Chains A and B, each alone.
Chain A
Amino acid sequence: MTDDSDGFPDLPEVPPTQQMQDLMSAYRDQTHRSNAQIEAALQSITAQVGTAGATATAAGLSTTAKVGLTAALLGVVGVVGLALGRPDPQPEPHAAQVEQAGPVAMNAPTAGPVVEAEPEFVEPETSPAPEPPPKDDIAGVDAPRPRARTKPKAKPRAKPEVMPANPAPVDTLADELRRLQQVRAALRGGTPARARSLIESHRRDYPHSTLARERDATEIAALCSESRDADAKRKAAAFAKAYPGSSQDLLADCDG
């Protein structure tokens, strides 16, 4: 690395490949917050710090309120279960200073935190596009960048711009994703046997899939759905061996 040389016009450009752009776009989508969600979060903050600049600390932020916010923002009941199951992390770094000046409106009902907290105002979903940066950009990395938030959808395949060493079809990943998505659909649709047969064929076609972990986890979920708990447990043990360090609760749908 020649970090300290002056000027860098000669550095090779590494424009993002289509595949990279797809991943980034998916990531951007997943972490995107709509205006309505931002306003809901702001309201929640305002309620917690009190009005007009009163100070309150996050120490006063009860777990219930947090879960409520998560539910409101994500609208995912399943995730609430996870949040509840999550061991509460260390005392907040700032827990020591509990200054409570001014009204602290804690909207933390003790019962039914999940149902509470629908964001009251639902604005039309106008995504706040990242503000375009001034074009004083650094030489070399001015390569085209995905600016717009695009849904993962069929798009014209881009020329593989980078990594000429490997002319593999760019759409391998897209195909894999599409097929795993069918697997999930089958699972959700209450046809776990079909899900498993799709998984089998996926495994045949992509024995070393990037998404193998995802696939294996889904297979276990499918076995659970079929009440084949013993098989599921066996696979879960193999999974733990294959992906050490993964603490995924694979048997959540079993049980048993």
Chain B
Amino acid sequence: MPDANAVLRMSAAYADMFRAHYPKVVRWLSVLGVSQAAVDDVAQEVFIIAHRKYDQLRPDASSAGWLMGIARNVAATHRRGDRRARAREQHAATPAAAPNPEANAMRNQAARLLQDFLDTLPEEQRLVFAMYELDGASGSEIAETLGLSRHTVHSRIRLTREKLARRLARQQARNTTDDR
């Protein structure tokens, strides 16, 4: 029987970690290709595993890096069964209860466009993208979390932006050429 105070402390610390990282884990899983229909369930699995292994997390270790490791593993097992769900949800209606369905539809389309692009990138590059562009993490944070040099992080960010810019430009070029 563990000391009750230690358990309580751990629970509070775990809850803090959960609150701080849940939104990020959702984004990481998303860029890794987990569908929006499944992402909350998958994030929950990540945190259940994290809970079970919580005492293995060294106090000085980065909990972001630790969670990301778990998230990558869990995402890999889920992606296989998840393709179909994702294809279907692109077709799914936007939430009926949502206050602004039109804006939602637009937002979903734009998000899907970006997801299509992310799907073409290697896993690590997606995660750098997620941390930098979506989480707003600094270069050093990303380097530490992913175990990369800052230089590598920098060049991944640059390459991804260039690639995305090229892709968007290509599409626009096609549109203008064929327009009317």
Contact A23 B111 (CB under 8 A): yes
A/B pair count, beta carbons within 8 Å:
320
Which B residues fall within an 8 A CB radius of A? 2, 4, 7-8, 10-11, 14-15, 18-19, 22-23, 26-27, 30, 36-41, 43-45, 47-49, 51-52, 54, 73-74, 77-78, 80-85, 87-98, 101-103, 105-115, 132-141, 150-155, 157-159, 161-162, 164-166, 168-169, 171-176, 178-180
Q: Determine the distance from Cα of A185 to Cα of B141 in the docked complex, in whole angstroms.
A: 42
One of A81-89, A107-115, A191-199, A226-234 contacting the partner? A81-89
Interface centre among B78, B155, B159, by most A CB within 10 Å? B155
Q: Determine the distance from Cα of A152 to Cα of B137 in the docked complex, in whole angstroms.
A: 22
Q: Determine the distance from Cα of A48 to Cα of B46 in the docked complex, in whole angstroms.
A: 13
Given contacts A31-B30, A185-B102, contact A49 B89 (CB under 8 A): no
Report if A145 contacts B (CB, 8 A).
yes
| Closest-CB distance, B168 to chain A (whole angstroms) | 5
Q: Determine the distance from Cα of A96 to Cα of B2 in the docked complex, in whole angstroms.
A: 24
The answer, among B101, B137, B165, for a CB contact under 8 Å with A14, is B165
Closest to A127 in B: B23
| Closest-CB distance, B98 to chain A (whole angstroms) | 8
A interface residue count range (under 10 / 10 to 19 / 20 to 34 / 35 or more) = 35 or more
Label chain A's interface by main secondary structure. Answer: loop
Contact B136 A14 (CB under 8 A): no
Which A residues fall within an 8 A CB radius of B? 1-5, 8, 11-17, 19-20, 22-24, 26-33, 38, 41-42, 44-45, 48-49, 51-53, 55-58, 61, 66-67, 69-70, 73-79, 82-83, 85-90, 92-94, 99, 128, 130-141, 145, 147, 151-153, 162-163, 165-166, 168-169, 172-173, 177-178, 180-182, 184-185, 188, 205-211, 214, 217, 221, 246-250, 252
CB contacts (< 8 Å) of A51 on chain B: these are 11
| Closest-CB distance, A202 to chain B (whole angstroms) | 12
Q: Determine the distance from Cα of A131 to Cα of B162 in the docked complex, in whole angstroms.
A: 26
CB contacts (< 8 Å) of B81 on chain A: these are 86-90
CB contacts (< 8 Å) of B4 on chain A: these are 52
